[in-house]
Chain A
Amino acid sequence: MKNSDQDDPHWEKTRKLLREHLTVPALEHPDFINSRVLEAIRRDLPEKSRPPKSLFSLVRLAWAGAAMLVAAAAVSMLFLPQDAGLRSEGEFISQVVDARAAMPQLSVTSFRVPDDRGVVLWIEGSDYIPANQPVQ
């Protein structure tokens, strides 16, 4: 690895000084380096084999969500009556028996919505219903 450059002879004196006196104390317990390095490496190894924390949280979150959905489905199956919302005709507050208009220019039609859940009253022939006109 020697260099072929021609060095200044004056520098040679300084180089000689450096080589003679720029020393490094001997490594007294070299195995100490190995043990410290391996200790650090082995300390880090289990962490590396573990999945990252954020990914672990996401998986846990997904499982928790699925469990909540199952629990909610079970509660609704157990406690809510299966026929909830289906009511007989007698339970309605009011019922359209007949739809006709007293004024000749008006025509009234009633439509029952599917499943008998309500009635639409369709009035034609007037832009508005006068305030003094009773609706029966």
Chain B
Amino acid sequence: MGDNPSTADDSALLAQARGGDTVAFDELITRHRGKIYMHIGYMVRNEEDALDLTQETFIRAWNSLARFDGAASFSSWVHRIATNAAIDLCRRRQTRPQAELEQGDMKIDAASRTTPSSPETPGTGIDRLEIRRRIDSAFAQLSPDHRAVMVLKEMEDMSYEEIAQHIGCSLGTVMSRLFYARKKLQTLLDDLHEEL
């Protein structure tokens, strides 16, 4: 092993890890675990699953080190592994109580604003715990693919191009998924705005 793992940059650590150096890989985990855990946490909305998937993500990364071509940074690469792992888990769970908007019978004009059109529900104040529960519930109703673009765009501030590259689809697909995901969230959270 060459440099001190704590001072070496990611690419040097990556080279060492590819040679079987677990100490270097340990340092890479330490550097990226927080971001990966947060990303997965937004996606799966469950602390235990987020922890398990974070571990699984790094194990997958270790097992795929030989196939990593180095075109992207380690951070982007492991982030992509995390997204795929989270989408896989969400699909396995099948926790979508409702069909997606574009697949259902609700027609949306592509030119329309993403303003909710559902009837307003009157309310008289609502606490933070309830707001969080409502948001979690609404978020859980998004499909795994929609949830992924929503997290990448709204929580992690990625551009459309970066999202397209990250999840391996076209720019149009990203925009479409984001449009429907926003529309659905706004519909589901419409009455919450009124109650606040």
On A, residues with C-beta under 8 Å from B are 1-5, 8, 10-11, 13-15, 17-19, 21-25, 27, 30, 32-34, 36-38, 40-42, 44-45
A40 to B22, CA, bound (A): 11
Q: Is the CB of B162 within 8 A of A1?
A: yes
Most chain-B Cβ atoms within 10 A of its Cβ — which of A4, A19, A36? A36
- Beyond A8-B114, A22-B155, A38-B29, 9 additional contacts (C-beta under 8 Å) are A1-B158, A3-B153, A10-B114, A21-B132, A24-B41, A30-B30, A33-B33, A33-B55, A37-B55
Contacts A27-B34, A33-B54; A40 near B59 (Cβ below 8 A): yes
* Contact residues in B for A24 (Cβ distance below 8 Å): 37-38, 41-42, 47, 50
On B, residues with C-beta under 8 Å from A are 20, 22, 25-26, 29-30, 33-34, 37-38, 41-42, 47, 50-51, 54-55, 58-59, 62-63, 113-116, 128, 131-132, 135-136, 139, 153-160, 162, 182, 185-186, 189, 192-193
Q: Which residue of A lies closest to B129 (CB)?
A: A21
Q: Is the CB of B55 within 8 A of A3?
A: no
* Contact residues in A for B51 (Cβ distance below 8 Å): 27, 32-33
* Contact residues in B for A2 (Cβ distance below 8 Å): 157, 159
Total contacts A-B at CB 8 Å: 103
- Checking A8, A19, A21, A25 against B154 with a beta-carbon cut-off of 8 angstroms, the contacting residue is A19
9 contacts between A and B (CB under 8 A): A8-B114, A10-B114, A10-B186, A17-B131, A22-B155, A30-B37, A33-B51, A34-B30, A45-B20
Q: Which residue of A lies closest to B196 (CB)?
A: A17
Q: Is the CB of B155 within 8 A of A18?
A: yes
* Contact residues in B for A38 (Cβ distance below 8 Å): 22, 25-26, 29
CB distance from A134 to the nearest CB of B (A): 88
Return the 6 tightest CB-CB contacts between A and B, nearest first. A24-B41, A37-B58, A3-B159, A10-B115, A21-B132, A8-B114
